[in-house]
Amino acid sequence: MFGLSGRGRLSIIVLLILTVTCVFIFCEYVIYYPAILRCSWPEMTASKDPAAPLRALFLSDTHLLGAVRGHWFDKLRREWQMERSFQTALRLLRPEIVFILGDVFDEGKWSSTQAWDDDVRRFRRIFRHHSDTELVVLVGNHDVGFHHEMTQHKLERFENVFNISSARILTTRGVNFLLVNSVAMHGDHCPICRSVENELHRLSEALNCSLQHYPLYRPSDAECTGVDAALPEERYQPFEERYDVLSQDASRKLLWWFQPRLILSGHTHSGCEVLHENKIPEVSVPSFSWRNRNNPSFILGSISQTDFALSKCFLPEETSVIVIYCGSALIMVLIAISRLTLFTGPLHFSSVLLSKHKPL
């Protein structure tokens, strides 16, 4: 039979362990660094503001899986990917403020108190940050439910955890951000909706940028382009008001009351840039979760009191990681076969010699 020495077997095992370790470290740690190192803060070439611009990072739709629909491995994998991406971005880019534009959780609209507490605990681990970085979280429909599912209890639960309100102006280094609970912009004068609209009307005296979960009204994503836009077969599907986008009436109110110079929203999981009336730009921020996209991203904004500039930072594609794992596995099999061949000994045959002499 074939022979393989103990030293040969040990060398193959050591080689395989080293290869697996290196591939794992690269795919789960290192790969995020070259991706994010390609990103940089955009420059405002035409700005006349002598002060350095505010550095803001925008991401959306993390959809942390809950106790009902979240398989343990799916949760482990997606949360690890987001944690490594976020922590690497903080280390390399050092934003002053980070905005998460809603749908932080996937099951906040129906989660029990215990499940909610567990989701919040995991969120705080994934998106931990130093005190010199401010984290601002907006509410989305998966956090408190769509309009007909939203209750005062769910809304207060979210607002208490993230120290946020449904209508608020946040001022950072002279830049005003309007934070809107777009789920409450239903226009039917429900108690929550009426309270939010009244507060927005009161706040309409000062605004630079508007941040919310739902996009303003647009018929579809037909005008959206880019590698992270909706798929061609989805791009021309009509949007439903108050479900995919804000209603036309709510959109007109926000534009009329505030005249923002920039709007950032989430919800669609795809990237899009549109111009509303008076050439007001809106940027839809894609999902930050690999569960929703093969190529998640976030947006970097350099913002002053008079100007802004945005750039997009793409994270590693999950298909690339899968190809690396599969290719490495194939290479390891080939290496193992070659090493086995190298350490194979000669063939040995046993034989029985029969004597010609008669036994005594």
In a domain, 134, yes or no: yes
306 and 162 in a single domain? The answer is: yes
23 and 171 in a single domain? The answer is: no
Looking only at the bridges linking them, the beta strands covering 134-137 and 97-100 are parallel
Residue 295 has what pLDDT?
Answer: 93
In a domain, 360, yes or no: no
111 and 189 in a single domain? The answer is: yes
77 and 11 in a single domain? The answer is: no
Among 190, 112, 200, residue whose Cα is nearest residue 147: 190
119-144: b or e for each residue (b if 16 or more CB lie within 10 Å)?
Answer: bbebbeebbeeeeeeebbbbbbbbbb
Cα angle: 103, vertex 288, 314; to 5 degrees: 155
In a domain, 187, yes or no: yes
240 and 335 in a single domain? The answer is: no
Domain count, the chain: 2
In a domain, 156, yes or no: yes
In a domain, 334, yes or no: yes
137 and 194 in a single domain? The answer is: yes
Residue 337 has what pLDDT?
Answer: 79
In a domain, 348, yes or no: no
Which range of residues forms the domain containing residue 81?
45-315
9 and 115 in a single domain? The answer is: no
Tokens of 65: 């899986």
Using CA atoms in the order 210, 212, 214, 215, what is the torsion angle rounded to 10 degrees? 20
Tokens of 232: 């061609």
Q: Which residue stretches of the chain have pLDDT < 50?
A: 1-3, 346-355, 360
Whether the CB-CB separation of 285 and 250 falls below 8 Å is answered with no
- Tell me the CA distances in angstroms from 167 to 31, 194, 195, 277, one per residue in order: 39, 11, 9, 23
Looking only at the bridges linking them, the beta strands covering 167-172 and 209-212 are unpaired
Looking only at the bridges linking them, the beta strands covering 308-314 and 297-303 are antiparallel
In a domain, 40, yes or no: no
83 and 3 in a single domain? The answer is: no
78 and 108 in a single domain? The answer is: yes
Residue 336 has what pLDDT?
Answer: 74
In a domain, 352, yes or no: no
Among 212, 319, 323, 322, residue whose Cα is nearest residue 268: 212
